[in-house]
Structure 1
Amino acid sequence: MSVIPTPHLERSNLYALLAFYLLSIFFLAVAWEFKLEATVMWVLNLPYDGDFETSERWRFVLTSTGFAVFAMVMPFVLLKRLIARLHLSYNNLVQAQAYSDSLARHDPLSGLLNRRVFHEQLAGRLEQPGKETAVFLIDLDRFKVINDTYGHAAGDSAICAVADCLREVTSGWHAAVARLGGDEFALAVTGNFSRHELATLAENILAKIASGITELPGLALGATLGIAVSPQDGTAAETLLQRADGAMYRGKKSGRAVFHFYEASFEEAQREQMRFEQELRQAIEKQQIQPFYQPIVSLPDQRLAGFELLARWIHPERGIIMPQDFIPLTEELGLIKPLTESLLIQAFAQAREWPRALTLAINVTSSMIESSEFPQWLEQITRQGNFPLAQLEVEVTENALIANMGSARMNLERLREMGVGVALDDFGTGYSGLYHLTQLAIDKIKIDRSFFDTSLKNQSDMVKAVLALGKSLHMQITAEGVEHEQLAEWLVKHECDFAQGYLFGRALPVAQITALIGADGVNGPLRA
């Protein structure tokens, strides 16, 4: 920082200058009155009366000196004030320039280095010969929840607390610590160290952050950390940051609150994951994810009653990809709604000519059932596909209902008003309770397949109780995962209404479903 210095006069020097000026005027007046005046008049050949009394001469000297003093007081006062203001302005300018320089180099909230300066320092460290530089990338876990639950003031306190933790933990290291933005931090350490020492530092950082915030004792903090080391992981600042970010991302995927060193194999897996995500987006757009249908039969006659709509990704290279391999990623990417819309449009076009007695059951996620726009959106899709609402059944899990009970209740009531059936899926595996069954617009209960096994040992009091509960609440019951005749007979004996499972058919594409319906599957017992 370059600053032009201002003139600075010490107070003693100023007083000395004033005294010298006054004495000069005094002696000049004395010399004029007693010596110089007569000589000057004689030189100028002007008349001069020298008969003045000495007292008159001294009065002139004192008067002229007094006027000089008076003439100097005001300029001196003004000059002093001017110098004081100039000095104050100079100090303010220095402080402003220092603050501006600090803002240009540091994050204003945490006081740590900002992204630009950290990048510059990291590049400088990488140029030092014979030394290693390790980059740590730290991302707080679920920081958005802290802001949403406790407020942004608590979030700011958390950021400052983490900054203090990083300063404290790295105090013995040749480290540069920065806040890159949001809840993301970085630090660079340079020297000669082992992998074990870096791992110990990472563990200390995570432990210190997890120890909590003194000002907010109820606030739990956690972080995930990725490490990349130069020169083996890269020699450029941007490369190291990118690879530390990849290592950190690996930690996020594997459970959070952990640290990982960069590994080239994981980077390849990450690139493959990105390719898979892109293929998934394109598959939804091109309708490569197609509807498959699993039969549902009525009991005891075992006649075809409807189908559950399931998704299968017909990949041009990998073949058929099952839902468990892409549905979680679809939800993570926020694509579940466009995927559902694509499947419904295809299914409605295929099922439009089915017998009206057959129902089509679709699964919906918690995000969909919570949305106030869901009933209207579903009605619009069915109208577009020219599919009767009365043939449609929505399956929702108990966990999805719990997420936002108020919105779920209103949406389920709206669906019932539209004529859409509602089934509680995987009953018994979530937050089961009579409250859900008595207070929500539910028409059917689906008993999860985990309650059944091939030896019939678990079709006991629990399943009997669920069947009895459904009957008492005038709800229909569907048993999932029926794979053998003995279980079907047991369900008939205990008055279960519907069943689905491999005994009656796996999920099939539309061509086989059309053939199944054409083979009089509606009027006779169905077997796989």
Structure 2
Amino acid sequence: MPVSINLSRADFQMMDPLTELNQAMRKNGLRWSLVRVEITESALSKDVAGLKRAIHNFRQAGYEVWMDDFGSGYSSLNYLKNFEFDEIKLDMIFMKDFDEASKKILTACVKMAKDLGIHTLAEGVETKQQLDFLQSIGCKRIQGFYYSKPLPTGEFAKLVAEKGIEIENWQQSKFYQCVGLVDLASDKPTCLALDDGSHFRLLYVNEEFQKEVKRAPAVFKQIVNEWNKPESEIAKRLHAFAQKVDQGEASYFDFKQTEQYLRLSA
């Protein structure tokens, strides 16, 4: 299971964190991809050149580097310009005052990060309302008390078993790493679907898509069921469309189903 370690400015001043971490990984026979290195935003304000080299070296060695507490300081955007990050952790301050202004800022941050090829994680998530909103704008990960407070390893394993939480395997992790950069923050109904060769499954839907579904939930359910009938002409066209996309052909097609006009594009 991947873990994160936090590094402060003092860690970089007192030692070479990359050398220490590499030694620990070799000693314990662990894969480099299992560790994420988190650096707080406040640590980036001094020795910019040195930290740029350190972050670059971590990434070259195979570690993901995340910026912690993004948005807590006054230079967040400047740091994104000057440093290479795989993921930014949106500060929990946006969850404390979860109003329309916070939602607009979060939406803009997630969209900007995706445009830069950077993943996003929201800190301080405690309610289903917050979770649903973050999913609708395409935020890839959440952290907070919504699922649980921090737990010892044994209690965490018990919680996962009791709640039936599925642990991602490496193939799933790699897949979601790719789709996590798809921008869902659109004013048009947008969803992300997975075709496994026999069935279509919706992975993400944005807020506008949810509104359309709520207008006629029974009709939408009928539409999706039709997509997954092997004998359905629509299902055959969908699979052919997915194969074109898999081959790198950007495409779209329009069709009418249950009096609804639909367009799929990729």
- Per the normalisation by structure 2, the TM-score is 0.58
CA contact (8 A) 1:370 1:408 kept: no
Cα distance, 1:463 vs. partner?
Answer: 1.5
Output one character per residue of 1:107-131: Cα deviation in whole Å (capped at 9) or x when no partner: xxxxxxxxxxxxxxxxxxxxxxxxx
Cα distance, 1:518 vs. partner?
Answer: 4.7
Of 121, 124, 128, 1:481 maps to 124
2:107, 2:89 → 1: CA distance?
A: 13
Of 166, 177, 185, 1:522 maps to 166
Match of 1:411 in 2: 54
Match of 1:461 in 2: 104
2:124, 2:141 → 1: CA distance?
A: 11
Cα distance, 1:394 vs. partner?
Answer: 0.8
2:62, 2:93 → 1: CA distance?
A: 30
Output one character per residue of 1:373-397: Cα deviation in whole Å (capped at 9) or x when no partner: 2211111122223222111001111
Q: Secondary structure at the match of 2:80?
A: helix
Cα distance, 1:407 vs. partner?
Answer: 1.2
- Which structure has the bigger radius of gyration? 1
Is it true that 1:502 corresponds to 2:145 in the alignment? yes
Cα distance, 1:522 vs. partner?
Answer: 2.8
> AA paired with 1:429?
S
Output one character per residue of 1:414-468: Cα deviation in whole Å (capped at 9) or x when no partner: 1101111111100011242433213322100100111113754443322122111
Of 37, 55, 79, 1:394 maps to 37
Aligned positions, number: 167
Cα distance, 1:482 vs. partner?
Answer: 0.4
Match of 2:82 in 1: 439
Please give the residue correspondences for 1:204-283 in structure 2 after superposition, counting only pairs within 5 Å: none
Does the C-alpha gap of structure 1 residues 523 and 386 become closer, same or farther in structure 2, counting only changes over 3 Å? Answer: closer
Does the C-alpha gap of structure 1 residues 475 and 371 become closer, same or farther in structure 2, counting only changes over 3 Å? Answer: farther
Gaps of 5+ in 2: 169-266
Does the C-alpha gap of structure 1 residues 406 and 454 become closer, same or farther in structure 2, counting only changes over 3 Å? Answer: closer
CA contact (8 A) 1:389 1:420 kept: yes
Output one character per residue of 1:61-109: Cα deviation in whole Å (capped at 9) or x when no partner: xxxxxxxxxxxxxxxxxxxxxxxxxxxxxxxxxxxxxxxxxxxxxxxxx
| Higher normalized helix content (fraction of residues) | 1
CA contact (8 A) 1:423 1:445 kept: yes
Gaps of 5+ in 1: 1-357
Please give the residue correspondences for 1:64-463 in structure 2 after superposition, counting only pairs within 5 Å: 358-370=1-13, 373-453=16-96, 456-463=99-106
Output one character per residue of 1:224-266: Cα deviation in whole Å (capped at 9) or x when no partner: xxxxxxxxxxxxxxxxxxxxxxxxxxxxxxxxxxxxxxxxxxx
Cα distance, 1:478 vs. partner?
Answer: 0.1
CA contact (8 A) 2:70 2:76 kept: no
2:48, 2:98 → 1: CA distance?
A: 37
Does the C-alpha gap of structure 1 residues 371 and 411 become closer, same or farther in structure 2, counting only changes over 3 Å? Answer: farther
> AA paired with 2:165?
G
Q: Secondary structure at the match of 2:154?
A: helix
Is it true that 1:470 corresponds to 2:113 in the alignment? yes
Identity %: 26
2:2, 2:46 → 1: CA distance?
A: 27
Does the C-alpha gap of structure 1 residues 370 and 438 become closer, same or farther in structure 2, counting only changes over 3 Å? Answer: farther
1:478, 1:418 → 2: CA distance?
A: 23
2:59, 2:98 → 1: CA distance?
A: 38
Q: Secondary structure at the match of 1:452?
A: helix
> AA paired with 1:402?
S
> AA paired with 2:17?
F
Match of 2:154 in 1: 511
Q: Cα RMSD (Å) of the superposition? A: 2.1
- Per the normalisation by structure 1, the TM-score is 0.30
2:91, 2:44 → 1: CA distance?
A: 17
Q: Secondary structure at the match of 1:367?
A: helix
1:477, 1:489 → 2: CA distance?
A: 15
